[in-house]
């Protein structure tokens, strides 16, 4: 998995010949086991060894919010390499002895950290002291530590947009856990095919974001496409792997 975020554009005039805008990046590569900040010249400013990783954030204070393994979320100060905050879902909140994986997390505007816990099918909100201050149950047919959730994001209205990979559906939950909107990812009349490369096909959903126009942009994972759908679940735009 490669996760990359643009941090800031390069200031100053660009070469007319190159006509290239360069950006400072926060990036992670699970295959090489590291997360890093790369400057505009391609040099490594900071890096940290990691395990599995499915989410990553540069915070407003310059710290990096990341996971060091499937269950531990940490906030790191790149200037000192100090871990200033951490939460381990495997050993906290009544999860001891249970199969847990974390595939999404987010620092909220109130300073708390949202963590999606697959396996126990819930989303928790953790304060700076590491205490759970809110818990939202998720609706799944069968709990699966690896496939309950992928990307999860809090929306401007306070609801949570959740990708349920295993169930091939995107759901919007209220803060009380009520489903207020959902979209079943279609197969487009194609048969399923096993695998992890271009030969595979399905409707697993890995990521979804709510656009300013109210539509939802989502990736179909092994469906090799990007879809934009309206609140009424109408498909308005699609990009396939072969396009």
pLDDT of the residue at 49: 94
What's the pLDDT at 16?
A: 53
In tens, the pLDDT along 136-189 reads: 999 999 888 998 999 999 999 999 999 999 899 999 999 999 999 999 999 888
Given a cut of 90, whether residue 14 has pLDDT beyond it is: no
The closest of 81, 82, 133 to 108, measured between CA atoms, is 133
What contacts 215, CB < 8 A, 6 or more positions away? 228, 229, 230, 231, 236
Percentages (nearest 5) of helix, strand, coil residues in the chain: 0, 45, 50
Contact 181, 171 (CB under 8 A): yes
Q: Which of 61, 68, 60 is nearest to 28 (CA)?
A: 68
pLDDT tens readout for residues 23-48: 999 999 878 899 999 999 999 999 99
Percent with pLDDT over 90 in the chain: 74
User: Does the pLDDT value for residue 210 go beyond 50?
Assistant: yes
Q: Could you tell me the pTM of the whole model?
A: 0.89
pLDDT-derived band at 203 (thresholds 50, 70, 90) equals confident
Average pLDDT value for residue range 56-81: 96
d(CA 30, CA 97): 26
In the structure encoding, which two tokens stand for residue 187, read together?
């197969």
Kindly tell me if the per-residue pLDDT of 222 is higher than 90.
no
Which pLDDT band holds residue 21 (cuts at 50, 70, 90)?
confident
The Cα–Cα gap between 77 and 99 comes to 29
Q: Which pLDDT value is given to residue 157?
A: 95
Tens of pLDDT along 88-124? 999 899 999 999 999 999 999 999 999 999 999 999 9
Least confident among 62-66, 76-80, 130-134, 197-201: 197-201
């Amino acid at each position: 998995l490669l996760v990359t975020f643009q941090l800031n554009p390069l200031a100053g005039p660009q070469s007319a010949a190159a006509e290239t805008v360069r950006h400072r990046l926060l990036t992670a590569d699970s295959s090489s086991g590291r997360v890093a900040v790369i400057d505009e010249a391609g040099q490594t400013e900071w890096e940290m060894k990691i395990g599995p990783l499915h989410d990553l954030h540069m915070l407003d204070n310059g710290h990096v919010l990341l996971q060091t393994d499937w269950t531990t979320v940490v906030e790191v100060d790149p200037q000192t390499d100090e871990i200033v905050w951490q939460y381990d879902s495997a050993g906290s909140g009544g999860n001891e002895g249970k199969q847990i994986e974390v595939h999404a997390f987010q620092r909220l505007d109130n300073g708390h950290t949202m963590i999606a816990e697959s396996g126990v099918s819930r989303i928790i909100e953790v304060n700076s002291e590491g205490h759970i201050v809110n818990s939202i149950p998720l609706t799944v047919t069968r709990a699966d530590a690896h496939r309950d959730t992928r990307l999860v994001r809090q929306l401007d209205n306070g609801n949570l947009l959740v990708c349920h990979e295993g169930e091939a559906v995107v759901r919007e939950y209220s803060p009380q856990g009520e489903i207020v909107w959902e979209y079943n990812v279609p197969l487009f009349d194609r048969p399923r095919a096993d695998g992890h490369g271009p030969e595979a096909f399905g409707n697993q959903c890995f990521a979804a974001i709510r656009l300013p126009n109210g539509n939802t942009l989502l990736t179909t994972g092994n469906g090799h496409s990007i879809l934009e759908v309206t609140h009424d679940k109408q498909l308005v735009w699609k990009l396939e792997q072969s396009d």
